[in-house]
Structure 1
Amino acid sequence: MASSSFFYYLFLFFFFLLADCLVLSEGVEGKEKELVPAFFIFGDSLIDNGNNNNLPSLAKANYYPYGIDFSDGPTGRFSNGYTMVDEIAELLGLPLIPAYSETSGENTLHGVNYASAAAGILDITGRNFVGRIPFNQQIRNFEMTLNQITNRIGADEVGQSIGRCIFFIGMGSNDYLNNYMMPNYVTRNQYNGPQFANLLIQQYTRQLTSLYNLGARKFAISGVGMLGCTPNILAQIPFSRCSDAVNKLVQPFNNNIKTMVNNLNRKLPGAKFVYVDVYRMFQDILSNPKQYGFSTIDRGCCGIGRNRGQITCLPLQTPCLNRDQYVWWDAFHPTEAVNVILGSRAFSGNSNVVHPINIQQLANL
């Protein structure tokens, strides 16, 4: 009897020892899957995850039904679930990146999301929504984060790590929707379409160079999508067709981004910029919706008015049930299903949608 008890406890000892080894092994393996030290995100409502929650702003999404399919519920994401950068973070092997407004201490070490709904390349963009954090201020916020991290782990460690991090920037949509196309802005009277695109790129180039001067080296720059096909624009057009005029308006800006990326790759030593062609991704999805599993491409899953695009999701409004079959979540923003596709293609897509390399290849440089 004593002998059997001895072997029983010996079995338990080796069982728990093996379990501990497996846990440690998984931890090491998980660490190896982190392709970059951190992921820093700048942008607007397409990738905001809560930075506007405590601002005096009309651009907020921290209420139901936003976040209905997200594990933490409404967080400030303008989606029913994941945003594009949530999917990219996961593919990089990182945890979901926290909003700047919620960061402190250890949770900054995998990166920070500075994006703000209604924000633009130009500081005046989005003023109709009152509070927002323009790109210039997002860069200043990153500089504050950089100082905090430097104080925690030292300048040498930060200097070695920051150049290996991915910097994702998605700006420009609001400079059209909430600036150039708004009747209370003078920009449309001052510039034609190509001139406005040039103005944006001049400012954008200076801003990205500022990030480079702060140590950033790996950049993923997202273009503007098919704004003329959003439910809000469809609601203004007879027969609910995409607006060719609006889509053509943003094309010079996207073309300029490609040129800017090529120029910065030549001019800034050690830097690598890639262009994420969101416009082309949307074009493919809207042209071949059934191939992607979508049945509804011309109205929002939640919202009020024509095409559910005249007023965005109201608090406690009941959204559509078949959300995975909708391209658009609300008047301007795609569903989680689309965001996952966009993030996945940005991460591992071919040169038709990510130029000159994809984010996975960028991370492995």
Structure 2
Amino acid sequence: MEHFLFRLFMQSLLLSSVLLCASATNITRDRNVVGDSLVSKRDLIRLTRQIEAIYQFGDSLSDTGNYIREVNGEESTYSRLPYGQSYHPTGRASDGLIMVDYIAMFFHLPLLNPYLAKGSDFRHGANFAVIGATANGKYNSLGRQLDWFKYHLRTTYHNSIAIKRKLQKSLVLMGEIGGNDFNGPFNQGKSIKEVAKLVPGVVQTIKNAIEEVIKLGATNIVVPGNFPIGCVPLYLAKFATNDTSKYDKLWCLKDYNNFAKFYNIKLIRAIKQLQQKHPDVAIVYGDYYSALIWVIANAQQLGIEQDDTKKACCGYGYNPYNFGTTGCGSPGSPICQDPSKRISWDGIHLTQQGYKGVGDQLLEQFVPFDAIYQFGDSLSDTGNYVLEPNSNTVYNRLPYGQTTQPTGRASDGLIMVDYIASYFNLPQLNPYLATGSDFTHGANFAIIGATANGGLNVNSLAKELDWFKTHLNSTYSNPAGKTIEEVYKLVPGVIKTIHDAVEEVISLGATNIVVPGNFPIGCVPLYLVKFETNDTSKYDELHCLIDYNNFAKSYNQQLLQAINQLQNEHPDVAIVYGDYYSALTSVISNARQLGFEEGGTEKACCGTGNNPYNFGDKSCGSPGALVCPNPSKRVSWDGVHMTQEGNKNVGQQLIKQFVSALQKHIRRRRSRQ
């Protein structure tokens, strides 16, 4: 029992030493699109799922129904079929959904209602974009949309503090806007040189608008650039030429694409000036140009017919682009058989499939991580232990996994790393030993019973790191029967091992690392049973053992010191302390509010014990061991590990902590450069 107890003690301690390494998204872009002026990754919005609302400004690329609610738009073709045929007619300039819809879905938000749809639900933001809008102009200009925005905020939230609080958790999409400022003059026969003179004014208007929303409290702003207009059927048909030197390898008009690049570079420069002026605000360039170029170049991967990437689906034209003779929605205008096989819908706007492709590319610019690598022990193992040779354990069968299915997780269902992956819109991590599994989005190296100190022949952090390095093609001794004073002496060695492990993953390229501390082990049924005493002074207000919680605090303080040291040594790497102690304490303190039953914070669900903690006589999974009727009403699953509901709530607390901390690190990086 002593040997078993200490193994579980170290297990609990060194979940606590889990290294949760998140791999930053690596986006390959065509550097020729905007040269070296692209905003670097440190400037990207990383904290995707913190967004609670979206506010959209722009034109026909973003309007979800404002134009058709205006007097001159009620009878427009945008209000009826074939527009909306893949969804339903809503006023969107497409056969279905558009980019902002996919962005909203990514953030798990409802589709944005147009501002002019009075009486709609605007709790999750609003869309102010209008078809035909310009940055500078008298009608449906960006200035008018800003007036709507300010009026909406004033009439919805009672004071400026409430407005700022809302905007701090919102994403502002400033466009695309400005395209129509150029489309009109080009259509009127103005030369590229003449239209280029309009660029500084358009950029200044957008810059002023960004300043206004920042003043109101916005802290997350995306400013999209212009599309490669030389690839749009409208331009290809109007400015067609027999001079093949005027076309690039994608058969787009070079001169008009160069104009779009020129505008985008000017816009990026303005964004960089704003970033320097407002270092605490994330102002991000949305690279529409590269996104659409990628979709065109990789059309077949998206199920789009390569030969029809620049051919309109709806309407008719006596040219290879099917544009210019009969407009989409006009009487007798034909529609292609399958809009999902085309990028362009009507020669100006994209199909739903086109918008989805561009939207996916755009989102890649803001996604914080595309992979997670988990190190740890039984609190994090998603199946490695049960996949080891000669493994004969209770973890691979019911009642373990009864809320989902048995997977090797030491819980009735999901565990913390599952919720963290879900938060970042990633699939659940496969265990490393599940040979042949999909490791595209990371891998789980954690294994039940692992310790920080130990060699490659035992389940240790060193062994996990060795797996990690092998995976990239590219470690716990078990003394029993120790006193708390003796165990204190082990802490420096454990800290040193973790320190070295962090150094090692940094050397492999990790830039975002979460190093969690220890739980309040004095609140765990295992400890409450083993070290139970009649001395009430040994318990705190939550009826947790003070001495063992103090041990966890001491360990955490030393770990935090090591993390601070590493942070000083690696200022460009975000190394964040995961406060497991506070997270579990918060869940225990607020148990009733979270739906746990009275006594559900210290009483194991699975197993049997002749004590208040239901632990110690028959372990979970043993013959005759009982399982509580509803695991979601308990925090502890088997007296050592948490239930799915416990893991979920602690995981949510952790996410709030380290997402905020990572945001601060990213802003510091940006301010230093």
Task: Tell me the TM-score normalised to structure 1 length.
Answer: 0.74
Offset of 1:358 from its aligned partner? Answer: 3.3
SS of 1:299's partner is coil
Q: Distance in 2 between matches of 1:263 and 1:243?
A: 31
User: For 1:332 and 1:21, how far apart are their aligned partners in 2?
Assistant: 50
Counterparts of residues 1-365 of structure 1 (less than 5 Å): 13=338, 34-55=367-388, 56-57=390-391, 61-70=395-404, 73-104=405-436, 107-123=438-454, 133-147=459-473, 179=478, 182-183=480-481, 192-236=486-530, 237-238=532-533, 241-295=543-597, 296-306=600-610, 307-310=613-616, 311-314=618-621, 319-349=627-657, 354=658, 357-358=660-661
Task: Single out whichever of 21-30 and 337-346 deviates more from structure 2.
Answer: 21-30
| Aligned positions, number | 315
SS of the residue 2:499 aligns to: helix
Q: Which moved more, 1:335-344 or 1:311-320?
A: 311-320
The amino acid across from 1:302 in the alignment is C
Report the 3-state secondary structure (helix = DSSP H, G, I; strand = E; otherwise coil) of the residue aligned with 2:503: helix
**Structure-2 change in CA distance of 1:194 and 1:231 (3 Å):** closer
Change over 3 Å in CA distance of 1:40–1:103 after alignment to 2: farther
Instruction: Report the CA distance shift for 1:31/1:272 in structure 2 as closer, same or farther (over 3 A).
Output: closer
What amino acid maps onto 2:646 in structure 1?
Answer: V
Q: Distance in 1 between matches of 2:462 and 2:524?
A: 27
**Deviation of residue 222 (structure 1)?**
0.9
Shift in Å, 1:13:
4.8
Say which SS state the counterpart of residue 557 (structure 2) adopts: helix
Tell me, in whole angstroms, the C-alpha distance in 2 between the residues paired with 1:59 and 1:222.
27
**Partners of 2:499 and 2:563 within 8 A in 1:** no
Aligned-residue sequence identity (percent) comes to: 25
The answer (yes or no) to whether the contact 1:233–1:242 under 8 Å persists in 2 is no
For residue 281 of structure 1, report the CA deviation from its aligned partner.
1.4
Name the one with the larger helix percent: 1
| Cα deviations by residue, 1:129-187 (Å, 9 ceiling, x for unpaired) | xx962100000000001107xxxxxxxxxxxxxxxxxxxxxx9xxx6xx846x32xxx6
Equivalent position of 2:4 in the other structure: none
Give the C-alpha shift of residue 275 in structure 1.
0.5
Q: Against the structure 1 CA distance between its residues 20 and 120, is the aligned structure 2 distance closer, same or farther, given a 3 Å change threshold?
A: same
Aligned partner letter, 2:614: R
Report the alpha carbon displacement of residue 328 of structure 1 after superposing the two structures with TM.
0.6
| Aligned CA distance change for structure 1 residues 238 and 347 (closer, same or farther; 3 Å) | same
| Distance verdict in 2 for CA 1:360–1:98, change over 3 Å | farther
**SS of equivalent to 1:45:** coil
Question: Kindly tell me: are residues 266 and 347 of structure 1, through their superposed partners in 2, closer, same or farther at Cα, counting changes over 3 Å?
Answer: same
Offset from partner CA, 1:50-105 (integer Å, 9 cap, x none): 000132456651111111122xx110111112111111111112111111011437
8 A contact 2:419–2:651 mirrored in 1: yes
TM-score (ref. length: structure 2): 0.42
1:60 touches 1:117 (CA, 8 Å); kept in 2?
no
AA aligned opposite 2:463: Q
The CA deviation at 1:271 is 2.0
What CA distance in whole angstroms lies between the structure 2 residues aligned with 1:14 and 1:54?
47
Match in the other structure for 1:128: none
Q: Deviations over 1:250-303 (max 9, x none)?
A: 222111111111000001353221011111111222223212221211211111
Displacement of 1:223: 0.8
The unaligned stretches of length 5 or more in structure 2 are: 1-331, 343-350
Provide the C-alpha distance between the structure 2 equivalents of 1:308 and 1:32, rounded to a whole number of angstroms.
Answer: 49
Question: SS at 1:53's partner residue?
Answer: helix
**What secondary structure, in the 3-state scheme, does the structure 1 residue paired with 2:402 have?**
coil
CA displacement at 1:329 relative to structure 2? 0.9
Whole-angstrom distance in 1 between the partners of 2:488 and 2:545: 18
Give me the whole-angstrom Cα distance separating, in 2, the residues matched to 1:32 and 1:59: 44
| Mapped partners of 1:302, 1:48: distance in 2 | 19
Contact 2:387-2:434 within 8 A present in 1 as well: no
Q: 1:274 to 1:337 in 2, by over 3 A?
A: same
The SS at the match of 1:340 is: helix
Distance 1:109 1:362 in 2: 26
Q: Is 1:98–1:112's contact at 8 Å kept on the other side of the alignment?
A: yes
Q: Which residue of 2 aligns with 1:158?
A: none
Take 1:321 and 1:31, find their aligned partners in 2: how far apart are those partners?
A: 43
Please tell me whether the aligned partners of residues 515 and 577 of structure 2 are also in contact (alpha carbons under 8 angstroms). Answer: yes
1:333 Cα offset (Å): 0.7
Q: Which has the larger radius of gyration?
A: 2
Post-superposition Cα deviations, 1:166-223, rounded to whole Å, max 9, x if no partner, equal: xxxxx9xxx6xx846x32xxx659x745432222212221222122222222110111
In 1: Cα distance, 2:622 partner to 2:336 partner: 57
Q: Is the 8 A contact 1:80 1:329 kept in 2?
A: yes
The range that moved more, 212-221 or 80-89, is: 212-221
Amino acid at match of 1:76: G
2:73 is matched with none
Q: Which moved more, 1:222-231 or 1:56-65?
A: 56-65
Amino acid at match of 1:35: P
- Residue type of the alignment partner of 2:374: I
* AA aligned opposite 2:522: G
Q: Which of structures 1 and 2 has the larger relative contact order (alpha carbons within 8 angstroms, sep 6+)?
A: 1
Asked if 1 retains the 8 angstrom alpha-carbon contact of 2:376 and 2:445, the reply is: yes
RMSD: 3.5
Paired residues of 1:47 and 1:115 also in contact (CA < 8 A): yes
Distance apart, 1:321 and its partner CA: 2.2
Q: 2:662 & 2:459 partners in 1: Cα distance?
A: 26
Structure 1: stretches of 5+ with no match in the other structure: 1-6, 125-130, 149-170
CA shift in 2, pair 1:327/1:37, >3 Å: same
Inter-partner Cα distance in structure 1 for 2:577 and 2:434? 29
